[in-house]
Structure 1
Amino acid sequence: MTGQNTRLGIGLMVLTSAIFAVQDGVSRHLAGEYNVYMVVMIRFWFFAAFVMLLAARAPGGLRRAIRSHYPLLQSLRGLLLVVEVCVMVLGFVHLGLVPSHAVFTCYPLLVAALSGPVLGEKVGWRRWTAIGVGFLGVLIILQPGYAVFSPWALMPLLAALLFALYGLLTRYVARGDAASVSFFWTGMVGALAMTCVGVWFWEPMTGADWGWMAALCCLAAAGHWCLIKALEVAEASAIQPFAYLQLVFVAILGISLFDETLAPNMVIGAAVVVAASLFTLWRQRVAAAT
């Protein structure tokens, strides 16, 4: 990789985290007023147009972006991501922004746990210990067995599992497909799948909410663009820890705009999950260097 600039990469990752947090806040608003499937469908329409534009401007154009060594796995990746987005947005509506993100931060632990059976990677005892500690943090957040446990609390955990599988398959197809190919398939498959579902749940929207929908689409495109640029100028392992700032930005939005609260168990559990995830990422980096 040429043109390494870790400081710029960190800055772009922080900006990416802020953009995605605002995006989730807008999703929370729209999904609270309209059907989730319709909202996600329109978002993926714009995403598909965005990836087509990027592919058309890249060397080889659309013809190169379509050519994949793993068309079935690429299709599965797209389906996993779009289902994950739907599940996560449902979590925003029924559980709240802050608790949903607090649980979702465990996805790097799921990636580590599943990297063995999916990719054949070795996971040592230190990472397994961190994975166990991290899921203890998830239990602290969810508090199963305390008062009335809401089944909606499992939605962000399911979303984390889906996103972890999506990430692992992304690493697998990277063995034969360029990142631009994977990005193209993600957008196109997601848009096609959501169109098959979302058109049955179409609802008229107010002019103001069409403005919010346009903002949601622009935020999604801007967030992905910043993420791509961040990964172009810096190593993923160097900037990944700053992605957890999204939890901070989401907490600010949830508290200030949606009247959510930071319960002590949520803060403690999230801190445990983030610490375990950061340790897992560090051990993965150490293992890769040896």
Structure 2
Amino acid sequence: MPSTAARPAPSASEVTTGLALMFLSVMVSPLIDIFAKLAVVTVPSAEITAARFAVQALCMLPIVIWRRCFIDFSWRQNLFHAIRGAIITVSMVSFVTTLKYMAVADAIAIFFVEPIMLTILGGIFLKETIGWRRYTACGVGFFGAMLIIQPSFQEVGYVALLPVVSALCIAIFVLMTRVLSHREDPWSMQFQMGIWGLVFCTILLLVGEGSGSDIFDPVMPEGSAWFYLAGVGATAATAGILGVYAYRAAPASTLAPLQYFEIVSATIFAWLVFGDFPDAIKWLGIMIIMASGFYILWRERRFASKPVSDTSEVTLAP
């Protein structure tokens, strides 16, 4: 059962730092999907996910050794990280599979039910008081995302449900990150997530070998596929560590609306790489999302000394 421990409300500078780090994280994050979409043409989804975790763990290993974070590892923490690893594996495999059949921006637009899920779950499990302004900001941002993409479930069929599965997993993952980030080193968290994610992906690939599945049957990458796989891992590591520090500085429900900025960078990168240029309606959606995000930035800078959410730390017993 969860138990709570009082934690001082974040200062104005802490909230501002958290918002800035989250903004950087969501601007980098779409590069993961760009590289994944390029790779999924010839490499199965689970193998791309495994490559992400392998590169991420390798990037974190020297820092973890230098900081001597491994001294604090415990079985209790390992169980938490194993759960996080399983959740992020399901999310990543689901989303990468989606990218094989849908445009990057389309998939991300459907995925953007996640900030709404996160805001609601944050209020339930982290006891964060969610005011009508942030609910409104989430709703406005979601409306803007729909204007950009205008997804149709009739056109893509059941594949459209995979980003929803991914979104729910990420919302749960973020809540767990929020819990752990106040008592554990962020570099260690990223390293352990990578190790456990790699373990689960390896199991999936061993089970799927020879099945002919374009999701679980492993292949030997060729040519540029190696570069794409490395790109997935490197950008995931960068976005992940920025996100951990962001959630360490500010409440999850405060940061949630800023995730809508990801659709802006996703649209830009998709246009540059795949030539998918937004029309007038999509540009309107981008402006709405940016306006929503900048409103949150302005409000939190102005009222950080009078926080609109409780930032009590929650310790979940495994």
TM-score, normalised by the number of residues in structure 2: 0.70
Greater fraction helix: 1
Q: Who is 2:41 aligned against?
A: 32
Which residue, 123, 141, 163 being the options, matches 1:156? Answer: 163
Q: How large is the RMSD of aligned CA atoms in angstroms?
A: 4.1
- Residue of structure 1 in register with 2:70 after alignment: 62
Q: Select 1:118's aligned residue among 107, 118, 125.
A: 125
Which of 31, 54, 62 is residue 53 of structure 1 equivalent to? 62
Contact 1:9/1:231, CA 8 A, preserved across alignment: yes
Q: Is the 8 A contact 2:144 2:286 kept in 1?
A: yes
User: Which deviates more from structure 2 when the two are superposed, residues 253-262 or residues 111-120?
Assistant: 253-262
Q: Which residue of 2 aligns with 1:20?
A: 29
% identical equivalent positions: 21
Cα distance, 1:137 vs structure 2? 5.8
SS in structure 2 of the partner of residue 207 of structure 1: coil
Moved more, 237-246 or 249-258: 237-246
In the TM superposition, 1:226-245 aligns within 5 A as 227=242, 231=246, 235-236=249-250, 244-245=260-261
Change (3 A) 1:272 1:154: farther
- Of the three residues 76, 81, 84, the one matched with 1:77 is 84
**Shift in Å, 1:258:** 2.2
- Give the conservation status (yes or no) of the 8 Å contact 2:129–2:308: no
Aligned to 2:212: none
Correspondence for 2:7:
none
Q: Once the 2 structures are TM-superposed, how far is the Cα of residue 26 of structure 1 from its aligned partner?
A: 1.2
**Per-residue Cα deviation, 1:161-198 (whole angstroms, up to 9, x for no partner):** 21111011112234544434432321121111111113
Cα deviation for residue 96 of structure 1 reads: 1.0
Structure 1 partner of 2:213: none
**Cα distance change of structure 1 residues 117 and 240 upon mapping to structure 2, 3 Å threshold:** closer
Residue aligning to 2:235? 219
Q: Specify the code of the residue in structure 2 equivalent to 1:164.
A: A
| 1: CA distance, partners of 2:223 / 2:265 | 27
Amino acid at match of 1:206: E
Q: Cα distance, 1:27 vs. partner?
A: 0.9
Corresponding residue of 2:50? 41
What TM-score comes out, normalization by structure 1 length?
0.75
Partner in structure 1 of residue 222 of structure 2: 206
User: Could you say if the C-alpha distance between residues 83 and 240 of structure 1 is closer, same or farther in structure 2, counting changes exceeding 3 Å?
Assistant: same
Cα deviation code 1:106-127 (max 9, x no counterpart): 4222111112332233334454
Q: Displacement of 1:135 after TM fit? A: 5.5
Contact 1:21 1:249 in 2 (8 A): yes
1:100-115 equivalences in 2 (<5 Å): 100-115=107-122
Letter of the 2:71 counterpart: R
Structure 1 position 90 matched with structure 2 position 97: yes
Structure 2 gaps of 5+ residues are 1-9, 210-216, 312-318
- Tell me, yes or no, if the aligned pair for 2:137 and 2:257 is still in contact at 8 Å: no
1:257 counterpart letter in structure 2: V
The one-letter code matched in structure 2 to 1:150 is G
Does the 8 A contact of 1:101 with 1:247 survive in 2? yes
Structure 2 counterpart SS, 1:85: helix
Alignment check: 8 A CA contact 1:106 1:277 kept: no
In 2, Cα distance between equivalents of 1:178 and 1:121:
23
In the TM superposition, residue 148 of structure 1 has moved relative to its aligned partner by 3.8
Residues 102 and 247 of structure 1 are in contact (CA less than 8 Å); yes or no, is this contact kept in structure 2? yes
Structure 1, residues 252-277: CA drift from partner, whole Å, max 9, x if none?
23223324353666556666667667
The answer to whether the 8 A contact 2:118-2:256 is kept is: no
Is the Cα–Cα contact under 8 Å of residues 18 and 249 in structure 1 kept in the other structure? yes
Runs (5+) with no aligned partner, structure 1? none
Q: Secondary structure at the match of 2:100?
A: helix
The answer to whether the 8 Å contact 1:68/1:181 transfers is no
C-alpha offsets along residues 22-61 of structure 1, whole Å, 9 cap, x if unaligned?
Answer: 33211110012221111111221122222332211113x4
Number of aligned residue pairs: 284
What's the counterpart of residue 191 of structure 1?
Answer: 198
